[in-house]
Amino acid sequence: MPTTWYKPAGVPVFPRHDATPGPSVLAEVLDKQPWRQELPWPKGFEGGIAHRLDNGTSGAVLLADSPLELDELRGWFSGKLLTKTYWMIASCDVKWSENRCSRPIAHHARRKTRMVVQRGPDTPHRGQWYDADSRFRWLKGRCFEVTITTGVTHQIRVHAAFLGIPLAGDHRYGGGELPDNVPQDWEFCLHHVGMTGPNGFATQPVLQPSWAK
């Protein structure tokens, strides 16, 4: 059974590319489970970490406990067999309680740190378009549940903005300021609750952010 690990908001999954000192999920995993360093993980999946979350996102990270298990998990990801559930806080109110965005996503034509939703056949972009599907369901206040089976960079953030509910605090996509009840060390309000998959698979529960309770 794969391991579920908690990632705090603001902590990267892997060490930063510029070698800036600081915590990471991988460093914590290898410190607490040093046996993982001895296994032949493929590049980009060190420690058995099977996927990534944005630095600003908190929540469940899935770890394989062996290279063979990692191969199976990678097959689930590529086959879109895993349903990932998130909670988010929107920066504004909307009149709908459920919505869905299935528009493809690509890298922004000029800004390397941004993604863009395909609004039409001539939408400026860089590289290829990636299929993406996000389903939004209102929970309470400005809190929404989001489920995805795809995993494109910034997927929920750009789809939420496209639907008119950018994440609170997400300045990159028009989210404005954080709510008063959210600690200011959060970049934006997005939490990965966990995943479900084939044969009854489900990640273990992880710590919930205070703003989602």
Q: What CATH number does residue 79 fall under?
A: 3.30.2350.10
The pLDDT assigned to 119 comes to 95
Three-class HEC string of the chain:
CCEEEEECCCCCCCCCCCCCCCCCHHHHHHHHCHHHHHCCCCCCCHHHECCCCCCCCEEEEEECCCHHHHHHHHHHHHCCCCEEEEEEEECCCCCCCEEEECCCEEECCCCCCCEEECCCCCCCCEEEEECCCEEEEEEECCEEEEEECCCCCCHHHHHHHHCCCCECCCHHHCCCCCCCCCCCCCCCCEEEEEEECHHHCECCCCCCCHHHC
The pLDDT assigned to 5 comes to 98
Q: Is residue 25 left, alpha or beta, with left meaning phi > 0 and alpha meaning psi from -120 to 50?
A: alpha
The pLDDT assigned to 99 comes to 98
CA 16 – CA 32 distance, rounded (Å):
20
Q: Which two tokens stand for residue 42?
A: 């493929």
Q: Give the residue numbers spanning the domain of 201.
A: 3-212
The pLDDT assigned to 16 comes to 79
CA 20 – CA 14 distance, rounded (Å):
12
Phi, then psi, of 10 in degrees rounded to 5 = 90, -5
Q: Mean pLDDT per segment of 10 residues, for the chain of length 213 residues?
A: 95 83 93 97 97 95 98 96 97 96 97 94 95 97 96 96 96 91 87 96 95 80
The pLDDT assigned to 19 comes to 67
The pTM assigned to this predicted structure is 0.94
Q: Select from 115, 82, 116, 91 the least CA-distant residue to 179.
A: 91
CA 213 – CA 205 distance, rounded (Å):
14
Report the domain count for the chain: 1
Distance of CA 88 to the CA centre of its chain: 11
